[in-house]
Amino acid sequence: MHTVTLNNGVDMPILGFGVYQIPPEQTERAVSEALAAGYRLLDTAAAYGNEEAVGRAVENSGIAREELFVTTKLWVQDAPAQANTKRAFETSLTKLGLDYLDLYLMHQPYGDVYGQWRAMEDLTREGRVKAIGVANFHSDRLVDLIVNNDITPAVDQIETHPFFQRVADQKIMRDHGVRMQSWGGFAEGRNNLFTHPLLSEIAEQHGKSVAQVVLRWLIRRDVVAIPKSVRAERMAENIDVFDFELTDDQMTAIAGLDTGASLFFDHRDPEMVTWLAKRRLDA
Ligand SMILES: NC(=O)c1ccc[n+]([C@@H]2O[C@H](COP(=O)([O-])OP(=O)(O)OC[C@H]3O[C@@H](n4cnc5c(N)ncnc54)[C@H](OP(=O)(O)O)[C@@H]3O)[C@@H](O)[C@H]2O)c1
């Protein structure tokens, strides 16, 4: 598996497996199949409700811990966020059955962000996590976090797909040494992504699928991708993307699909902030 090196020297696979919206009862099978297909990066979250199933699949895989790269995410914490974050971290780690995490992400840019981040910094210093990062941080919030804290996030995981390409955000991340990771790389199929005429034409030119073209496009941009699928044949398809390269003309053509707008929700929308703020996990 090809890797990228994060700002603290930790290597991360450039392609992994996401488990958002996989029901807990299907997750162990799906993750076991993904590991058998060759995935080594697993992306879950406390909020997905399937960390225990991910942990069972990891344990049953027999794969050495150091060969795996496991990410989970901290849900929004109330003050005192430092204590609450450490408790939430222990809960996630216990559910996953692990004694360290490779990457711990702050899931949303809300709540006591500073308290959460300082607790995450402590977890890194204590060796409990190899790297820490954030998700859904727009560039202004990301830079604010960077300039006012000790540890720069290794990763910002944000909505990124052909219809919302985040080129300006990626430049700011690069300038600060933050690795961009795409969530919703297929836009969950919205805008008829899998039958899009331009993407289909490019796919045909390479004898590949639209999904493979999209993943190759992300990888060519140095963006870490974590496609989700519950189907073994698609898991195999989605990891089989290292034997072709998009041309510069094809990259330019795909760049033309950017609408500059989210297909899901805007993390700056006050209604969304209010809605997410009401959600709390038990942990
Ligand atoms: N940080 C955040 O706030 C955040 C938010 C969303 C997602 N994420 C992470 O990012 C990961 C990926 O995003 P996502 O799950 O939202 O969506 P996604 O990967 O963009 O799309 C998943 C959808 O594409 C389908 N699919 C997968 N491979 C396919 C293929 N080769 N051909 C046709 N259809 C295919 C899947 O269907 P089947 O399953 O039926 O195959 C599923 O409906 C998540 O699992 C999660 O780990 C993070």
Q: Where along the chain do its domains lie? A: 3-275
CA of 187, closest atom in ligand 1: 20
Whether 20 lines ligand 1, by a CB cut-off of 6 Å, is: yes
Cα 65 to ligand 1 centroid, rounded to whole Å: 25
In angstroms, how far apart are the furthest CA atoms of the chain? 55
* Of 132, 184, 129, 138, nearest in space to 162 by CA: 184
Domain 3-275: CATH superfamily is NADP-dependent oxidoreductase domain (3.20.20.100)
Say how many CA atoms lie within 13 Å of 86 toward its Cβ.
Answer: 11
Euclidean distance between the first and the last CA atom of the chain, given in angstroms as a whole number: 34
Q: List the chain pLDDT tens, one digit each, 283 residues.
A: 799 999 999 999 999 999 999 999 999 999 999 999 999 999 999 999 999 999 999 999 999 999 999 999 999 987 789 999 999 999 999 999 999 999 999 999 998 999 999 999 999 999 999 999 999 999 999 999 999 999 999 999 999 999 999 999 999 999 999 999 999 999 999 999 999 999 999 999 999 999 999 999 999 999 999 999 999 999 999 999 999 999 999 999 999 999 999 999 899 999 988 888 788 886 4
Phi, psi of 112 (to 5 degrees): -85, 75
- Residues in contact with 93: Cβ distance below 8 Å, sequence separation at least 6, in sequence order: 99, 100, 101, 128
| CA torsion through residues 163, 168, 172, 174, sign | positive
Q: How many angstroms separate the alpha carbon of residue 203 from the centre of ligand 1?
A: 19
C-alpha–C-alpha distance, residues 117 and 150, integer Å: 10
Nearest CA to ligand 1 atom 14: 184
Whether 137 lines ligand 1, by a CB cut-off of 6 Å, is no
| Residues identified as active-site | 48
CA proximity to 21, closest of 192, 232, 236, 229: 229
